[in-house]
Structure 1
Amino acid sequence: MCRMSFKKETPLANAAFWAARRGNLALLKLLLNSGRVDVDCRDSHGTTLLMVAAYAGHIDCVRELVLQGADINLQRESGTTALFFAAQQGHNDVVRFLFGFGASTEFRTKDGGTALLAASQYGHMQVVETLLKHGANIHDQLYDGATALFLAAQGGYLDVIRLLLASGAKVNQPRQDGTAPLWIASQMGHSEVVRVMLLRGAERDAARNDGTTALLKAANKGYNDVIEELLKFSPTLGILKNGTSALHAAVLSGNIKTVALLLEAGADPSLRNKRESCYIARAENLHF
């Protein structure tokens, strides 16, 4: 449903939204030219026709709406703009077009999201490149502290990560809970991302606020490829701030190969965690 300022919702406006969503340019032009549909009409959530067309990637409809005077930088109730939607969905042609008519990269959603953060989160490298060329802030953060690099690391988007790092992204910038890009990549099992970040100076022993490190999390999950990359940079194998070690985590999880990797790297099986347990007895029950 669509509201036009304080005017009554109309079936014609709803038809225009359908046309924008489906990419029916002929119908959209007919409705707009009738003079009975406001080019900036909104639905109940503040969505505009331009946002719908941008989300769907219908560049012809986007062009028509802009040329008919659509306000490019209007925000939905959530704070999203047409640029945000186009970036989120990876429609680089739409993103480039919107920039040609004054789209801004500075608008934020209610959780702090920007077009750059959205494009990075979904791995749209060409869009990220376009946004950076048009002034997007490489240091944008969600309100929880997550950066574009963090979101790309979470998704394992290696090309985006390399681009962001080359553009000045901070490899050790943590989220508010202390979770750094290396930590989240390790948790997700993205070994190639872990390798690239370590080579670019990621702190191998950076701990989240709960005291867990990337190695401990990888050991808990049994991500041996990640562990092998981390071990190349000599991470701490002893007791961590949370009172346990990566070897404890591996034994508790029953990950035999992980236990073997850590022991081979020099982990001490006699170390006791905060509960005064060393898990030697349990480890002896694992079959290598």
Structure 2
Amino acid sequence: MSFKKETPLANAVFWAARNGNLALLQLLLNSGRVDVDCKDGYGTTALMVASYGGHHECVRELIMQGADINRQRETGSTALFFASQQGHNEIVKLLFEFGASTESRTKDGGTALSAACQSGHTKVVDTLLKNGANVHDQLNDGATALFLASQEGHVTVLRQLLSSGAKVNQPREDGTAPLWMAAQMGHDEVVKVLLLRGADRDADGKDGSTALFKAAHKGHFKVIEELLKFSPSLCLLNNGSTALHAAVMGGDPKTVILLLKANADPALPNQNNELPEDLTKNDRILRILRQPMLSGGS
């Protein structure tokens, strides 16, 4: 966290809050010469700084001195947002004791819950959900907390959100679904959980590619294995290509073999009338593609 320098006393308050110096903080606040809600040019307050740093006693002192718990920074962030983002669960609980709101949003639509989910702080997520955080809130680009957890590979958080009613197929505004993103990032355990909870295996993004296509192109072998258990499309997709084309372009022979064993058709051309073998000069992959009985062999 960065903040602009202000008056010497305000700077001293920020320093004490940032470093967890309770004695200095009390001295400054009790002097009557500095406002407990003094802020810098970004709107940062000492309570936000102490919450970000995880300094429980300083946070309590600031609250008892009358700090505005729900004051927002220029970016829209609050003390609760910072404590959640950094995984300081005891501070999150303390803020809730004194009326912290889960409804505040940052300029990009972020909430304390989205911040905690993106960072994988399971205890904080649990506390937020118990205190009314909305699993259906979305960032300005449409991303939900579930989407963010899927993107970052946080399986436990994912399960928490799903158990609280999060929608497994809710896409961002660009059409990207949690499964698609998890597959692209190579998070096989996330992919497994999403599929078991009803994720659409063939949902595609605006470019027409599916989770299997992205995983094949990236060479995420374990992700592909999980997806194949749910019989995703191996045919021509809305992007005019197939997962096998993607695997060939990705250049991983193991991925190509895996798809062929799942009955991907090496004789199926893409929209440009190109066969998978036309997209590579890799001799090993070419040999694999030209073995007609591979699906029944090793």
Could you say which TM-score interval applies, normalised by the shorter chain?
A: over 0.9
From 273, 283, 294, the equivalent of 1:285 is 283
* 1:57 counterpart residue number: 54
How far the C-alpha of 1:35 sits from its partner, in A, is 0.7
Indicate conservation of the 8 Å contact 2:169/2:178, yes or no. yes
Letter paired with 2:62: L
Distance 2:245 2:33 in 1: 69
* 1:6 counterpart residue number: none
Distance 2:61 2:112 in 1: 22
From 244, 248, 258, the equivalent of 1:261 is 258
Distance 2:201 2:281 in 1: 26
Cα distance per residue 1:114-158 (max 9 Å; x no partner): 000000000001101100111110101101010001100111111
Q: Which runs of 4+ in 1 moved over 2 A?
A: 279-288
Residue segments in structure 2 that go unaligned for 5+ positions in a row = 289-298
* 2:137 counterpart residue number: 140
How far the C-alpha of 1:279 sits from its partner, in A, is 2.7
Letter paired with 1:286: R
How far the C-alpha of 1:254 sits from its partner, in A, is 1.1
Alignment of 1:183-222 (within 5 A): 183-222=180-219
* 2:163 counterpart residue number: 166
State TM-score, norm by structure 2. Answer: 0.93
* 1:43 counterpart residue number: 40
Whether 1:126 and 2:116 are equivalent positions in the alignment is no
Cα distance per residue 1:87-138 (max 9 Å; x no partner): 0000000000000001000010000000000000000011011001111101
Letter paired with 1:30: L
How far the C-alpha of 1:283 sits from its partner, in A, is 7.6
Residue segments in structure 1 that go unaligned for 5+ positions in a row = 4-8
Q: Percent identity?
A: 69
Cα distance per residue 1:176-235 (max 9 Å; x no partner): 111111111101101011011100000000001110100000000000000000000000
Distance 1:223 1:280 in 2: 20
What SS does the corresponding residue of 1:286 show, helix, strand or coil?
helix
How far the C-alpha of 1:275 sits from its partner, in A, is 1.5
Distance 1:254 1:90 in 2: 40
Indicate conservation of the 8 Å contact 1:251/1:283, yes or no. no
Cα distance per residue 1:223-249 (max 9 Å; x no partner): 000000000000000110010011001
Whether 1:77 and 2:74 are equivalent positions in the alignment is yes
Distance 2:191 2:281 in 1: 28
Letter paired with 1:217: K
* 1:273 counterpart residue number: 270
Distance 2:207 2:172 in 1: 13
Letter paired with 1:197: L
Distance 1:110 1:26 in 2: 35
* 1:34 counterpart residue number: 31
Distance 1:181 1:132 in 2: 20
From 153, 158, 178, the equivalent of 1:156 is 153
* 1:25 counterpart residue number: 22
* 1:111 counterpart residue number: 108
How far the C-alpha of 1:286 sits from its partner, in A, is 2.2
How far the C-alpha of 1:276 sits from its partner, in A, is 1.2
Indicate conservation of the 8 Å contact 2:85/2:119, yes or no. yes
Distance 1:169 1:61 in 2: 35
How far the C-alpha of 1:252 sits from its partner, in A, is 1.3
How far the C-alpha of 1:285 sits from its partner, in A, is 2.5
